[in-house]
Structure 1
């Protein structure tokens, strides 16, 4: 029914404001977080207290089930202060939305005793999964589980193949008591995300109700929708999750832009005997970089708002819109990288020093670009095929 369970925009806007109030402290802790290789527990606690992780959580567990536009606005603000904090906030925050699609029993097991319980993820099906009576047995290794040290459960990707060759790809929900974290995240950028490996040494049993088939998420036919009627849970995984991976780089690019502007006001280029603030070429770079970030954010905001509006009205989501969401999402990441590169090229040698904030933004945005959801060719090919009337089905649409 149209309008059922629409999230409280006023309450969600207050959460965004509360998150904005935390930005100075998040920015102050960014270097500390990178050196430690993890976002401080205090930062995660403060974000939780501000209500960030409740934005996409069902109302029956104390959440706001809000329009994702509010969530992404908060994430961009966080990432502009610290890319790693923005990244883990984004992925952990969207997991509350995904958990709401699981059978009610799984939701109760995670949130029943503590609605603030968090979930990390590693979706690539790199482990071993075997179908058994009442569920599945899993073991193996899953990499790049961002923010896993701040979570008590994990979403792990896996697939089984039936005798007739049919592939059943699912997300499996596993408690931390069934896996260990292998601390091996050592990268150039996003160093504080703590995106370590999840390892299940001996096979563990995962009951059927703690799994969700990708086929059901693509079809927008998930068991959790029966108990969570809010419109946000009728949105496609292929629209929300990739956007979750693009908004942090956009925030990083915004932070890089502001840093460049601030530094340029005081910078002197010895070779030309000129204050950079008077350099017209620097002015052009500032304008171009700002436009790239603004354009990407405006497209993403528009697309997510349109998806949500369709869900509120109880309408079927047009295939053209779902394809456009992925097109603009992946190009949005490209624009974030291009904007940051444009500024870095003109920032001078000092910007490459480890003590300079700009180089951290530059490393973070390039590391974020490496996520599979930001691979442009696959998403753009799908859009092109759809525009030509060809088959454009995909699990990430």
Structure 2
């Protein structure tokens, strides 16, 4: 079992006095430290307790949280910008932030009783898990709730979360239900050994005949409707009007673009003193003196900057729709999903270019560009970033 930071959370005061500018600046300020720790995170396959505490102290887990529970009630725009900044230093750290912060919105779909249970005494409490339906899991109705058994992989952030959410079939028709359970009632299976994003703690979580009370279980198909109903509980929190699952938040693509951004920054800061072997018989050439390096780097960095700007624009637009209490149209959702995949493809191409420019030295597992490349490659395979699937949906929306 991995360490969980529960004993001290209840002693911490929620960072309610922070502004949007404060939290975005805090994410920029953390970049140098995260860069120093990135290789250790990659090797240990988890972020450190100190790093996690710093994320909480900076207010990042309160960005998408209502004021009633010490939240800052900020927007998808700040969320995307924070994720990109953190990923410049360490994409795994950015991913943990992005997942645990985004999952606050899942909690808000549940009754006030559940929200109180999770945040009433600890506003720093977080939710991890896997919302994909596991058809092999079982959820049996019993008096007052359900008995839940099953395993769910890819539970990012579960190294630290106090709560978990799982999707299991219920009844003869196997309809998906979302169940929220305390982390201490689950078992961690340490099976997270990927090539990239190694520090996200996306391990498999297992529960065996765990009782889940009725108020912590609800049909997956009801999530959007329930979120709308809960708006009355938090009338000043405009992000309650955002699309769920969020496309405007760019929760995964922002991490990919941020990691590629960090790789271009590293290359720019080191190219002046970097060399490559001149040929099979030896010798060396300065990278900064090679025309091909200038053209390839210029393209890669420019593409990353365009991807950054697109995320900032789309996340701002999504936030404005929520602020105006206007639900996104199918065309807007389709466009945002397309752009999620588009900027990730751009980030992947760019970081692979930077890797090639560095040469064999980038093959070392602790090289910053090696880590960034492996991280972006891993992110690019996330189901929400499927280019063909998202472009087909976009075309159907606009035609």
User: TM above 0.5, one fold?
Assistant: yes
Structure 2 CA distance for partners of 1:214 and 1:306, relative to 1, 3 Å? farther
1:137-181 CA distances to partner (integer Å, 9 max, x unpaired)? 32110001112111110111223355xx5x633332111132111
Q: Which residue of 2 aligns with 1:49?
A: 57
RMSD, matched Cα: 2.1
Structure 2 CA distance for partners of 1:223 and 1:212, relative to 1, 3 Å? farther
CA contact (8 A) 1:352 1:359 kept: yes
User: What pairs up with 1:266-277 in 2 under 5 angstroms?
Assistant: 266-271=273-278, 274-277=285-288
1:190-237 CA distances to partner (integer Å, 9 max, x unpaired)? 11111111001x222222322344333445754432312211011112
User: Structure 1 residue 188: deviation in Å?
Assistant: 0.9
The answer to whether the aligner puts 1:32 opposite 2:36 as a matched pair is no
Q: Distance in 2 between matches of 1:35 and 1:318?
A: 43
User: Structure 1 residue 310: deviation in Å?
Assistant: 1.8
Residue 244 (structure 1) aligned to one of 248, 251, 255 = 251
Aligned partner of residue 195 in structure 2, secondary structure: coil
Aligned partner of residue 365 in structure 2, secondary structure: coil
Q: Which residue of 1 aligns with 2:147?
A: 137
Q: Identify which range, 53-62 or 362-371, moves more after superposition.
A: 362-371
CA contact (8 A) 2:354 2:369 kept: no
Q: Which residue of 2 aligns with 1:105?
A: 113
Aligned partner of residue 246 in structure 2, secondary structure: helix
User: What pairs up with 1:49-198 in 2 under 5 angstroms?
Assistant: 49-126=57-134, 127-160=137-170, 162=172, 165=173, 168-198=175-205
Aligned partner of residue 316 in structure 1, secondary structure: coil
Q: Which residue of 2 aligns with 1:224?
A: 230
Q: Which residue of 1 aligns with 2:269?
A: 262
Q: Distance in 2 between matches of 1:234 and 1:133?
A: 35
1:92-136 CA distances to partner (integer Å, 9 max, x unpaired)? 111123212221111111111111111112122222233445433
The answer to whether the aligner puts 1:283 opposite 2:291 as a matched pair is no
Q: Which residue of 2 aligns with 1:303?
A: 314
Structure 2 CA distance for partners of 1:39 and 1:101, relative to 1, 3 Å? same
Residue 318 (structure 1) aligned to one of 329, 332, 350 = 329
Q: Distance in 1 between matches of 2:142 and 2:330?
A: 36
User: Structure 1 residue 339: deviation in Å?
Assistant: 0.9
CA contact (8 A) 1:250 1:332 kept: yes
Q: Distance in 2 between matches of 1:131 and 1:304?
A: 41
Unpaired runs of at least 5, structure 2: 1-15
Structure 2 CA distance for partners of 1:330 and 1:242, relative to 1, 3 Å? farther
Q: Distance in 1 between matches of 2:39 and 2:276?
A: 27
CA contact (8 A) 2:46 2:198 kept: yes
Q: Which residue of 2 aligns with 1:342?
A: 353
Normalised by the length of structure 2, the TM-score is 0.88
1:257-289 CA distances to partner (integer Å, 9 max, x unpaired)? 111222322112331653211212111222221
Structure 2 CA distance for partners of 1:211 and 1:47, relative to 1, 3 Å? same
CA contact (8 A) 1:9 1:67 kept: no
Structure 2 CA distance for partners of 1:193 and 1:241, relative to 1, 3 Å? farther
CA contact (8 A) 1:242 1:326 kept: no
CA contact (8 A) 2:166 2:180 kept: yes
Normalised by the length of structure 1, the TM-score is 0.89
User: Structure 1 residue 182: deviation in Å?
Assistant: 1.1
CA contact (8 A) 1:243 1:329 kept: yes
Q: Distance in 1 between matches of 2:178 and 2:313?
A: 29
Structure 2 CA distance for partners of 1:263 and 1:71, relative to 1, 3 Å? same
Q: Which residue of 1 aligns with 2:7?
A: none
Q: Which residue of 1 aligns with 2:392?
A: 381
Q: Identify which range, 270-279 or 95-104, moves more after superposition.
A: 270-279
User: Structure 1 residue 28: deviation in Å?
Assistant: 1.3
Q: Distance in 2 between matches of 1:109 and 1:74?
A: 28
Structure 2 CA distance for partners of 1:9 and 1:308, relative to 1, 3 Å? farther
Equivalent pairs, count = 377
